[in-house]
A = this chain, B = another copy of it.
Amino acid sequence: MAKQINLNADMGEGFGEYDIGDDAGLLKIIRSASIACGFHAGDPVTMQRLVTEATAQGVSIGAHPGFNDLWGFGRRRIDMNPRELEYMIAYQIGALQAMACYAGERVTHLKPHGALNNMAAEDIQLALAIGRAIKTVDRDIIYVALAGSAMEKAGRELGLPVAREGFCDRLYDDDGNLTSRKIPGAVLHDPEVVKERVVNMVLNEEIVSRNGKPLKVRLDTLCVHGDEPSGVIVARAARQGLEAAGVRIVPLPEMTLG
């Protein structure tokens, strides 16, 4: 049976007059969109447009909740009580669910944004809080989690469907964490390098760390980015490489999750 993988990207991270990222370009490449829900970015108009455009491209819709921090674009760590975080996530899921009605679609996955994603990958209490929000609002929503993170653990503990995420365009440390963006070269821009890496990730279930150490990892979804100029080119390379290697690229709800 052919290997399959999902490609996802963050989307709709504009606000009012502002726009970031080449959403239209990425929607032709990815199969699942994580849409900003109004707290770190995204407004109701942007959200409505994205759910409609994603659906038109056969791209599945996910929530991309973040901290209540438009100025910092959700990249500042905010020390929230897990209970307050949980309700904040539930709120954002619901807001996107309503917008998804405009496309006659459902919200089928959730991936936290920015600093929240980083914190929840490390902190089981935060990861559980996000998971409880999912479970309360719609227990069929797939919890997209950095492979091996506290989020993966929390999702499994709560009995939620979990998609283990890898990153097409990021270096990894030896312990499986993403290399900090502050380290030069942490973000990959060379389409050929990316192509080779993603094929290795999916076919061999292996990521080579920045020190050359092979890490064994099973992934369900690969993240690409649209906020850098090279984003769409890198994303297209990833997709082409995978397809050339015989891998099927499918929306998250069509993945068989472990």
Give me the interface of A with B, judged by CB distance under 8 Å.
Answer: 14-20, 38, 43-45, 47-48, 68-73, 76-80, 83-84, 87-88, 90-99, 101-102, 115, 136-137
Contact = CB atoms under 8 A, between A and B. Distances in A.
Given A78-B78, A87-B102, A94-B98, 19 more contacts: A14-B18, A17-B20, A18-B18, A18-B20, A48-B90, A68-B69, A68-B71, A70-B70, A76-B78, A76-B80, A77-B79, A91-B95, A91-B98, A92-B95, A94-B96, A97-B97, A97-B98, A98-B137, A101-B136
8 contacts: A15-B15, A15-B71, A72-B78, A77-B78, A91-B95, A93-B98, A94-B95, A101-B136
Given A16-B72, A78-B79, A45 B101 contact: no
Given A73-B17, A78-B79, A44 B87 contact: yes
Contacts of A102: 87, 90, 136
B78 A38 contact: no
Contacts of A96: 94
A115 B84 CA distance: 17
A44 B96 CA distance: 15
A84 B15 contact: no
A78 B71 CA distance: 12
Contacts of A136: 98, 101-102
A16 B98 contact: no
A84 B45 contact: yes
A44 B94 CA distance: 11
A44 B78 contact: no
B20 A87 contact: no
Contacts of A43: 71
A16 B70 contact: yes
A55 to B, nearest CB: 14
A14, A78, A88, A98: most-surrounded residue (chain B CB, <10 A): A98
Contacts of A69: 68, 78
B16 A90 contact: no
Q: Which of A38, A43, A71, A77 has the most CB of B within 10 A?
A: A71
A173 to B, nearest CB: 21
